[in-house]
Structure 1
Amino acid sequence: MKKLLTLITLFILVQNATAQKNALRLIADSINAEGETLYRSEWASGHGTQIFTSSFGGKKRLSGGYFSYETKREMTTIFFSKNNDPVVLATVKFDHSFDSSKYSIDTTTRKFTEIEKDLYAIRLKAAQAVSNDTLFKFYQNTSLNLVPVIKNGAKKVYVITAQTTPDEVLLGNDYLINFDKDNDIIKKTKLHNNLIPLGTGGKEAIKASSHQHLGETSPFITATDICAFKLWKAKTTWVISFIVSAGYVSAWHFRNEFLEILTQTEWEKIMKNK
């Protein structure tokens, strides 16, 4: 009887461990997908801005901002006017190859499409919140990028601190603003407690980077972390980056862009056996 109870206990422990691993895999996949969405938007915005600025500098002075969005066919960045009833000044489109040399640009002034109206509306309200709410912090020599996303019916704007120097990656000082179907703000969340500059590695290559998530910060890596890692992957010497919280360790592998999330207990066992 004692042996049977031991076997039952071991079976339950194995089942629980498997369930926890599966749950963490689902969390990792969800965060990874959101990070990919953010990266694609920021990639299109960055290259779209370079193209627009280099080719149509005069028209850029009329621009009140930009945003990007993706369809099944392409990634699009639009630049809109400054006035109270804005119109689209230019449209830059990329295919899904992520080849910045393959693009089209149309500088015909036009009205917003329906999806662009919604993206502009939540971006505008996010900009107003950033200007008026003390939740949002500003650091010297940085700016805040507004990244509107509408996906599977959910409307949100990420607020990300923009990169300023080529020898560091900026993480943190980022926020998520959620909206209802009528484009009204329903929630504002601070994703990291502070700004985290990490060196990219120079003459002395840095193979790993790490930072902590403490307090109210998510116990897992954030979509904004993944976005930054993917954007600046080619500029760093990193092989892996660790995000450590009280209960978990998230590991982002740069070579195959793979995310794994481990419990602290699993992590300690791995380190002990090394």
Structure 2
Amino acid sequence: MKKLFTLITLFILAQNATAQKNELRQIADSINAEGEMLYHSEWASGHSTQIFTSSFGRKKLLSGGYFSYETKKGMTTIFFSKNEDLVVLATVKFDHGLDSSKYSIDTTTRKFTENEKEYYTIRSKAAKVILNDTLFKFYQNTSLNLVPIIKNGTKKVYVITAQTAPNEVLLGNDYLINFDKDNGIIKKTKLHNNLIPLGTGGQDAIKASSHQHLGETSPFITATDICAFKLWKAKTTWVISFVVSAGYVSAWYFDDESLEIFTQAEFEKKMKNK
């Protein structure tokens, strides 16, 4: 009977461990997908700004901002006017391959589409709230990028600290604003407790980077972390980046852009067996 009890106990523990691994795998896949979506938007916005500024600098001065969104054909970025009678000043499009040399730009002034009005509405509400809510911090020599995302009926705006120095990756000082179906703000979340500058390696090759998530910060890597890693991947010497919390270790691999999440106990065991 004692032997049977031991076997049953071991079976239950094995089942629980498998269930936890599957749950962490699902969480990792979800975060990685969100990071990819965020990266597409930031990539399109960055390259579109360069194109618009270099070729149509005078018209760019009339712009009050921009945002990007995904379509069935790829990524679209629009630049809108400053005045109250809002119009689109320019439209830049990339296909899903995200090749910066393959794009179209249309500088014909036009009205917003209904879809673009939704993006503009949540973006403009986010822009107002970050100026009036002490939750949002501003650091010297940085700016905050607004990234509106609408997908499967969910509306949100990520607020990300813009990169400034060429030899460091900025993580943290990022936020998520969630909206209801009527574009009302329902939640504001601080994703990191502070701003985290990480050296890219330069002449002294750094193979791994790491930072901690403490307090109310998510115990897992964030979509904004992954977005930053993908945006600045070519400028670093990293092969892996770790995010360490009280209970978990997230590992993002730069070669195949995959993500694994381990429990602390599992990660420590993995390191001992290396």
Alpha-carbon distance between aligned partners in 1 of 2:123 and 2:98, rounded to the nearest angstrom: 25
| AA of the residue aligned to 2:256 | N
Alpha-carbon distance between aligned partners in 2 of 1:150 and 1:53, rounded to the nearest angstrom: 27
Structure 2 stretches of 5 or more lacking a match? Answer: none
Alpha-carbon distance between aligned partners in 2 of 1:36 and 1:115, rounded to the nearest angstrom: 21
SS in 2 for 1:251: strand
Q: Equivalent pairs: percent with the same residue?
A: 85
Q: Deviations over 1:70-115 (max 9, x none)?
A: 0111210000000123110000000111110100000010011111
SS in 2 for 1:58: helix
Alpha-carbon distance between aligned partners in 1 of 2:27 and 2:53, rounded to the nearest angstrom: 39
Q: Which residue of 2 aligns with 1:95?
A: 95
Q: Which residue of 1 aligns with 2:181?
A: 181
Alpha-carbon distance between aligned partners in 2 of 1:224 and 1:97, rounded to the nearest angstrom: 21
1:12-23 matched pairs, under 5 angstroms: 12-23=12-23
Structure 1 residue 273, shift from structure 2 partner: 2.1
TM-score in terms of structure 2 length? 0.99
Alpha-carbon distance between aligned partners in 2 of 1:31 and 1:104, rounded to the nearest angstrom: 31
| AA of the residue aligned to 1:51 | I
Structure 1 stretches of 5 or more lacking a match? Answer: none
Alpha-carbon distance between aligned partners in 1 of 2:203 and 2:128, rounded to the nearest angstrom: 43
| AA of the residue aligned to 1:156 | K
1:65-104 matched pairs, under 5 angstroms: 65-104=65-104
SS in 1 for 2:157: strand
Q: Deviations over 1:210-266 (max 9, x none)?
A: 000000000000000000000000000000000000000000000010100000010
TM-score in terms of structure 1 length? 0.99
Moved over 6 A (4+): none
SS in 1 for 2:243: strand
Q: Which residue of 2 aligns with 1:193?
A: 193
Q: Which residue of 2 aligns with 1:126?
A: 126
Structure 1 residue 27, shift from structure 2 partner: 0.3
| AA of the residue aligned to 1:141 | N
SS in 1 for 2:16: helix
Alpha-carbon distance between aligned partners in 2 of 1:74 and 1:98, rounded to the nearest angstrom: 8
